[in-house]
Amino acid sequence: MYETERQYMPRAGVDAAAFDEGLRSYMLGIYNYMASAVALSGIVAFLVAGSPAVSQLIFGTPLKWVVMLAPLGFVMLMSFRFEKMSKPALLAMFWVFAALMGASLAAILLVFTGASVARAFFIAAGMFAGVSIYGYTTKADLSKFSTFLIMGLIGVVIAGLVNIFVQSSMMQFVISVASVLVFCGLTAWDTQRLKDTYAETAGTELEGKLAVMGALSLYLNFVNLFQALVSLFGQKDE
């Protein structure tokens, strides 16, 4: 069976060289947004974890539920209000979301050793870069795996919720391994999808807004991949 090569062609009237340059600029902008958000989350996480008073205020009180659930609220708001919001408004919400995620991720630094967290981070960064490059360069249509990936994501979420009550270490191991596979797959698919998005919206008002949402998707993939690797390889701080 031969796979049909995907073609990224500019719309009529758009110069091919200008289109290719625009695509590179578009994807670079997405990666810059995503990397900046990861850096912001990391800074906030270190500040929260490094301050006993702040960490106690957040994780020693019901405020921890606000910190844990607020990022989900921001994702839902950005997704549902996407069409009505301007790019600056979306970007502002994106930075607030990244900061809140950093506060939530501080819990990892409080439980696991810094060396094991750093190791998981660099492994996650390497894996993310590899699968994202694959998604950007492959001619295969990755959308055919989308249903499988979404089902896998739903399964991971449900299993994670169940394991909150079961507290099974073996189940957590299986969930973490499955999460690594699912979020690697989602990263490759999302990267390719973002290329498709540019081909459809280049030069339109939607282009900038979709770049922010694309960065959000890649950020979520990376953070979930990182958390799964911490669960697999992290060493608890005694």
How would you class 83 by CB atoms within 10 Å of its CB: exposed for 0-12, middle for 13-18, buried for 19 or more? exposed
- Tens-place pLDDT, residues 113-159: 989 999 999 999 999 999 999 999 999 999 888 889 999 999 998 99
pLDDT, the chain, mean: 87
pLDDT score, position 70: 85
Is residue 9 scored above 60 in pLDDT?
no
pLDDT score, position 18: 78
State how far the Cα of 70 lies from the Cα of 102, in Å rounded to an integer: 12
pLDDT score, position 161: 87
Question: How far is C-alpha 5 from the geometric centre of its chain's CA atoms?
Answer: 27
Alpha helices in 50-86 (DSSP H): 52-59, 63-80
Mean pLDDT (whole number) for 66-82: 86
pLDDT score, position 15: 66
At 64, the amino acid letter reads K
State how far the Cα of 97 lies from the Cα of 107, in Å rounded to an integer: 17
State how far the Cα of 61 lies from the Cα of 56, in Å rounded to an integer: 7
Q: Name the pTM for this structure.
A: 0.89
Mean pLDDT (whole number) for 169-190: 93
At 44, the amino acid letter reads V
Distances from the Cα of 168 to the Cα of 117, 120, 171, angstroms = 22, 22, 5
Mean pLDDT (whole number) for 86-111: 92
Residue 4's pLDDT band (cuts 50, 70, 90)? very low
